[in-house]
Amino acid sequence: MVIYQNISLKPYNTFGIDVKAEQFVEVKTVEEVQVLCTTFNLAERKKLVIGGGSNLLLTKDFDGMVIRMNLTGMDSIREDENHVWVKAMSGELWHDFVQYCVTKNIGGVENLSLIPGCVGAAPMQNIGAYGVEIKDTFEELFAVEIESGKLVKFTNAECKFGYRESVFKNEKKDKYIIVAVTFKLNKHPKLNTSYGAIQEVLNQKGITTPSIKDVSEAVISIRQSKLPNPKVLGNSGSFFKNPEIPQEQYLLLKDTFPTIPGYPAPNNQIKVAAGWLIEQCGWKGKQVGNTGSHKDQALVLVNYGNATGNEIYSLALAIQKSVQDKFGITIVPEVNII
């Protein structure tokens, strides 16, 4: 384990923002994480833990320690008649984990195919797509407590999952480093093909009784058709969360905007598609300097080559204001802005 000084973070964030880290270290084992916490008094230092850097907008040099999680390995740790429990280390790419499950024909995460980032970041924001969230299959995780270096287990309930939320984004923020996650997958899953264009893609392929792999491949094709590859065009996927508004507000908006899409959410709320709101404000495909909203998906902000983090952040603020002015709805970034 080597601590480097003044390292560029451009290769470590999918927006491709070129800022420097005062200190940079890559950890490959749980023991290295524990040593880092105790020997280097990590609790008292400014720090940023990253995996794939896919949910991150860096707006300036980081005057602290950046810790890149590179713990790898995944395995089926137990099974019964109906389920298989798979444990994956936090540095594994999320899509690799999904494909591991798909190839073993165990279901539950196939709708989450091709989401960028690493396994360790998945429970932090309860990642989700196409009608599925990881809380649906999450069993437990292990994390190192930064202050003590102790390994601590968190159950599903203890993670307090919400929409793109968990305890690690709230009261436990910056107190733990996730090192391993276990999921409970299904040998006989009920496949979810009703969300988005999954069923449409399956119909086009003439698939009437889809397998887990068929659903995964449908999701991959949909995502590839709508979302730019960050290796080609810097981005962090969906930049904003889909807002949830009271049903009364939604019905009033529907009088003025009859095509506004809405989906039932808890507590009599309606989830509105942020991408649709942004598109209606004229941002889809619009380029502003070195950044812009992607031509195929308004929810994705992109770096056309030399954008700074502040340029992208300024664009995000302008988009937020226009949505607020037109619809009276506040859209909140899903991306972690540093």
Q: What are the catalytic residues?
A: 164, 238, 334
**Residue 160: alpha-carbon gap to chain centroid:** 17
Structural element, H or E, at residue 24: strand 20-27
At 129, list the tokens. Answer: 């797509």
Angle, to 10 degrees, between the axis of helix 94-103 and the axis of helix 212-226?
Answer: 150
Cβ neighbours of residue 39 closer than 8 Å, sequence gap 6 or more: none
Instruction: Tell me the C-alpha distance between 306 and 291, whole Å.
Output: 8
Q: Kindly report the CA angle at 199 between 298 and 85, in degrees rounded to 5? A: 95
Instruction: Tell me the C-alpha distance between 238 and 281, whole Å.
Output: 17
Which residue in 124, 326, 136, 131 sits closest to 242, CA to CA? Answer: 131
